[in-house]
Structure 1
């Protein structure tokens, strides 16, 4: 096993390189551990050939990849494969008698009176779902032995059907995985090279529908994601990268690429999760305990919450929305996403109703203003028309934007049919986009029992700072923070990610009957497994942190909530403290609790985290309240509805602003990959680390 220091010394590597692929841009952040410097890069994403976009980003930043020792990567390839339904031809092997549980699901019907309601569609059609003669009981004992001859026969049949992936779900394998392991072995013997996923490898929890959906999703995306990661790994080797390759999980933690190629579904929200980790680092630096992390890129807008210094997490997610959801039963940061980004297309629907997104122009062809063949106006085009983007200074002047062509497209496609001017149409597009994006914030705050107005909103992503103030006003948020390098922030956040392994065991015990010795034995087993995984890693963390938790519910309830439980609760064998913690979490989540009611302990959870060295963030030069003269780049006309139209607006260069500088709205603050809009009535102050802390509105309002 090689430590970080030894790895760097052995390969002359001293760069930690992080790359995040988004729907429009691919972002790069590099931490030089030799001199403590950070550098960034950005290039358009190259869909179909994602590796080319990564190499373009590296080339554009002048990165010396042969000096790297750690390559960190987040990508939307897994989630896009699920949402676009273009994954592998996948088969399902399932316990006899349970062929249709994947299709039956939970029979959720959230809108009882919707005559056009349609339920979820399985990723695997019924014709590719096959029953395996076997049965385990709930305690893991064998009720009916596995029919290996039948499994082998099924495997040969699957080979004749040219399946690319196989998912395996056998009842109660979370208690005893022996049957699943044997089925996997037989399939691999009969169909060499096929991608195989057994449910126990991903989830050690009960609930057969959620487990089969998780296994099916992993198998469905597996061949594509595994091939892509393998291609990228080979490409890095060809370019002389001597270090180790780690992927970002949906928890924001890192795991080796060989694990990511098997457990691809853990990468579903890798990029957005890294952004939340970056926001957590900013909050820790500023002593800010509670914040909303809001990320707006080219395709989507995402929101997560940091509470008491930690990101709020979930033990599962519903991919595709509640109505048609495919559940994924793995730990992840609680992130809600809406299909509104800078590239979201504005179009007229039946009755000339204006709609923005979820369709996106992406990077190909991109917004009209990119001059890459786009013909449909987007949110980015609207910002250009309103003067909030500069046609001559986009990405520091590297990409010239077509303002006249954008105005023509806006007039032809939107404004003309609505009987509006193109400026009014552009303003309407932004108003609709802001309302849609505010729903993402509400989903992780109001719907979780939290008051959004009590949080500071940390806004990033290339398009986020353009709309931060408007979204905050929509939600009653009074404080907004635009962090360092917002246009590269998800890649930047990866540099703050730690090695992480999550474990869960379903136990089903009444709290009042709990055997602490039994529970302690389960926790020790999970901890040992996690420490071994860290020990097997190519890099050695600076320290190891262990977090315990449990899923709990009141007796008689069906669903549980996850509760973080300090180890001292178990050391003291303090049932009352465990119950009080559960009651408080339940009250926040549901607005009510029942301290007098008994509770069940459903599952035990453990996170084993290997703490990595974090990049420093040095203080910026201190100045006065007045920005230095050279920070003012220009004065231009920018549209603000509250002012009744275009008003003369100062434009500042963010890299030249100093700590203590105060900028009153209306104003624009430009940097290489993003522009911050400071609306009339807002006041932005540059803090000691260069963050823009914006007070929404003013004392006089």
Structure 2
């Protein structure tokens, strides 16, 4: 990877990832295979400005790009912050309360303070129309269009911005939903209108209702946001393809993204997992945990058997009060702990970190932008893990006095601690919280987190990776090159992707393979047409078939991939074995002698695009070159049997000057433009052929 420089008259693939604190840009020159990087503070009031500034710092121009790839947290943040559109629901008569009743989950049966999920749309804005389909999709009661017009009269009267339509069994037959959508769009031309069959063709009415209302809730904001970027690109003489990252890690075109907004719920984090998958392929690793820590949140995903693990249902807001979103996405667990997460004391004096964040404005106290609350970044600065004059390559000076004052006033003083003790406590709580994200994405699938290497990225990830690894008992941490830009880099490894699903219950023993192939053929045809519309003529099509299965009598299913040779041989026994193995992995038990059934069929159609190659760096000796030394700094690593929290003299290295084969014994700090890697005492680091920092976790 090269330092930013102007490259006129070159065709680029440009990627931008907007986080809560920073905006990252990566540009890949397809002619020279060079990778250019830029990073700037996010601009919450006009997010597109951060993209322009980041592109400028990378030395790339929109006019030189053939493709612009983008990921953003705008959809998930709108849901979590509850500041979306004034939305309404239109549903089948008698079913307006399905959305609020939900699944009646009560994981903590004896918690007197338990609160169920809060609907995005109140009951006063949920309306019914007269119609009814059977579970087979036949018309039981014709659509009463007069009732639809009556509902539209009320929607106009109360002034809604968005409408979600979910009619019973529309996944089987969308005819009624299509007609209702036509009427609503005609009567409310300014409103954002979304129908459930456009997003999900699976059964489960509550999940489908929650999904379409989530799409309507975030729709106007996401649509306006994408249109703003589109307009900016045109002003910048960009005439290529504008593609957005979906929660699957795949890409889809901006026109589709403006209607199916909820598909980019986890777009930025998903790109990081895609980047981790590419890194694993280059390093010959079959498994890894992807850990992304930015300014606002920390996220974790899993690479298993060379592939990113996915799910067909996400719970936004946690299990207890979750709102489900029913669509394919990379399985990512997120916690509200990032570099900008605020440390605070509750009424009982207990210390907490997050989920509130200082964001980019005003940011942590040490940013000197008016922030007065202590954050994780302030704690890292106080403990010496960040250099005040080296943040962002020296572009941004950090205010040590402001960080010290914030921690003293808000944490250390009230708890009668020293500032150092308070800062160490902040980081310890943060590490414990983030380790839960890593454990959640593994243990719920029957995987042992301690047996995986941890790939740490994001601007703050390398600062905390070894502490998290110790918390879990992991043995190895890998910090990729340019970790602060890794999600943007991951976008350059994404492919166009279209996921289709159709509920189709059938007993495995009586499975009709001709019908199975017919339905898969219909799904694949939809994907081929979508791929043709994308305009990516050089993308190579790839098809993956999968099926949701369960034992007869079960409620929930697991997804397994169906190899083409199994379908070609019509091998029921092989399908059953695949299902039994996946069930054993997920739940620790299976029933090979029990009958199984199919629930839903899935087809993923990808347009495989050219990827940047992992560049190798120059070979060196075991001893780092003298040019890599940046002196020493006193760093506090926390309480230990030997140090009792005392600061240790720590050597600081410039990452850009390190060579392949260099070895470093902890304690050490490895500094680069957008991140710092912390190596604890007793840890050992080696630089591999691609420039990755491979850290073996020592045991004190």
Q: TM-score, normalised by structure 1?
A: 0.97
- For 1:341 and 1:316, locate their aligned partners in 2 and report how far apart those are by CA, in whole Å: 25
Alignment of 1:393-472 (within 5 A): 393-472=390-469
For residue 540 of structure 1, what is the aligned residue in structure 2?
Answer: 537
> Is the 2:37–2:57 contact (alpha carbons within 8 Å) kept by the matching residues of 1?
no
1-structure distance, mates of 2:635, 2:379? 12
Match of 2:262 in 1: 265
Partner of 2:681: 680
Matched, 1:628 2:625: yes
Deviation, structure 1 residue 273: 0.1
Q: Determine which of 201, 204, 207 is the counterpart of 1:204.
A: 201
**How much does 1:447 deviate?**
2.3
* SS of equivalent residue, structure 1 residue 650: strand
The structural deviation recorded for 1:616 is: 1.5
Q: Secondary structure at the match of 2:214?
A: helix
Match of 1:551 among 541, 548, 551: 548
* Pick aligned residue for 2:567 from 565, 570, 575: 570
Aligned equivalent of 1:55, options 41, 52, 57: 52
Q: Contact between 1:253 and 1:500, CA under 8 Å: does it hold in 2?
A: yes
Q: Deviations over 1:474-498 (max 9, x none)?
A: 1010011001110011111000000
Matched with 2:296 is 299
Task: Name the SS of the counterpart of 2:380 in structure 1.
Answer: helix
The residue number in structure 2 matching 1:39 is 36
1:308 to 305, 308, 313: 305
Contact kept in structure 1, 2:75 and 2:265, CA below 8 Å = yes
What secondary structure does 1:352 align onto?
Answer: coil
- Is the aligned partner of 1:136 residue 2:133? yes
Q: Separation in 2 of the partners of 1:160 and 1:413?
A: 48
> Of 569, 576, 579, which residue of structure 2 is paired with 1:582?
579
Q: Aligned equivalents of 1:119 and 1:544: distance in 2?
A: 43
Paired residues, what number? Answer: 689
1:31-58 deviation line (CA, Å, top 9, x unaligned): 0112110011111111121112222222
* Pairwise CA distance, 1:336: 0.2
C-alpha separation in 2, matches of 1:483 and 1:468: 12
1:360-397 deviation per Cα after TM superposition (whole angstroms, max 9, x unaligned): 11111110100011101110000000100000111000
Secondary structure, aligned partner of 1:616: coil
Q: Distance in 2 between matches of 1:12 and 1:176?
A: 51
Superimposed CA distance per residue, residues 479-525 of structure 1 (whole angstroms, 9 cap, x where no aligned partner):
11001110011111000000000000101101111000100101111
| Unmatched segments (≥5 aa) in structure 2 | 1-7
Rounded to whole Å, the distance in 2 between the matches of 1:471 and 1:518 is 49
Match of 1:70? 67
d(CA) in 1 for partners of 2:673 and 2:352?
A: 30
Deviations 1:262-321 (A, max 9, x none): 000000000000000000000000110000000000110000000010000000100001
Deviation at 1:419, TM superposition (A): 1.0
Q: Which residue of 2 aligns with 1:662?
A: 663
The question of 1:107 aligning with 2:108 is answered no
Deviation of 1:13 after TM superposition, in Å, equals: 6.0
Q: In structure 1, the residue corresponding to 2:43 is in which secondary structure?
A: coil
- 1:353 aligned to which of 350, 354, 366: 350
In 1, the alpha carbon distance for the partners of 2:263 and 2:539 equals: 24
For 2:625 and 2:683, the matched residues in 1 are separated by 20
Counterparts of 1:51 and 1:542, CA distance in 2? 28
Contact 1:13 1:66 in 2 (8 A): no
Contact 1:19 1:27 in 2 (8 A): yes
Residue 248 of structure 1, aligned match among 230, 240, 245: 245
Out of 143, 148, 173, the residue aligned to residue 145 of structure 2 is 148
Partner of 1:90: 87
Q: Which TM-score applies when normalising by structure 2?
A: 0.97
Which residue of 233, 236, 241 corresponds with 1:236? 233
Separation (CA, whole Å) in 1 of partners of 2:281 and 2:12: 24
**Superimposed CA distance per residue, residues 182-232 of structure 1 (whole angstroms, 9 cap, x where no aligned partner):** 000011111112111000000000000000000000011001100110011
Residue of structure 2 aligned with 1:485, choices 456, 460, 482: 482
Following TM superposition, by how much is the alpha carbon of 1:553 offset from its aligned partner in structure 2, in angstroms? 0.5
SS at match of 2:647: strand
Ranges in structure 1 where 5+ consecutive residues have no aligned partner: 1-10
Matches of 1:450 and 1:617 in 2, distance apart? Answer: 28
Q: 1:13–1:514: structure 2 CA closer, same or farther, 3 Å change rule?
A: farther
Residue 401 of structure 1 aligns to a residue whose secondary structure is: coil
Given that 2:26 and 2:58 are in contact with CA atoms closer than 8 Å, whether structure 1 keeps it comes out as no
Give 1:81's aligned residue.
78
Task: Describe the superposition over 1:325-356 as per-residue Cα deviations: whole angstroms up to 9, x where unpaired.
Answer: 10000100000000111011111112211111
* Structure-1 separation of matches of 2:468 and 2:519: 45
Per the alignment, residue 3 of structure 1 pairs with: none
Q: Per the alignment, in what secondary structure is the counterpart of residue 123 of structure 1?
A: coil
Comparing 327-336 with 55-64, greater Cα deviation is found at: 55-64
Where 1:577 maps in the other structure, the secondary structure is helix
Matches within 5 A, 1:511-526: 511-526=508-523
47-56 or 206-215, which deviates more: 47-56
Query: 2: distance between equivalents of 1:466 and 1:410?
Result: 19
1:496 to 490, 493, 497: 493
SS at match of 1:548: strand
Whole-angstrom distance in 1 between the partners of 2:532 and 2:695: 44
Contact in 1 for aligned 2:496/2:531 (Cα 8 Å): yes
Counterpart in 2 of 1:647?
648
Per-residue CA deviation, residues 563-590 of structure 1 (Å, 9 max, x unaligned), is 1111211111001110110011111111
Q: How many Å separate the matches in 2 of 1:46 and 1:25?
A: 8
CA–CA distance in structure 2, aligned partners of residues 15 and 202 of structure 1? 32
What's the offset of the Cα at 1:455? 0.7
- Residue aligning to 1:288: 285
Pairing partner for 1:325 from 294, 309, 322 = 322
Which one of 16, 21, 26 corresponds to residue 24 of structure 1? 21
User: Any conservation in 1 of the 2:288–2:452 contact (CA below 8 Å)?
Assistant: yes
| Equivalent in the alignment of 2:171 | 174
Query: What's the secondary structure of 1:448's corresponding residue?
Result: coil
Shift in Å, 1:12: 6.5
Match of 2:364 in 1: 367
Q: Which moved more, 1:437-446 or 1:634-643?
A: 634-643
Counterpart of 2:593 in structure 1 is 596
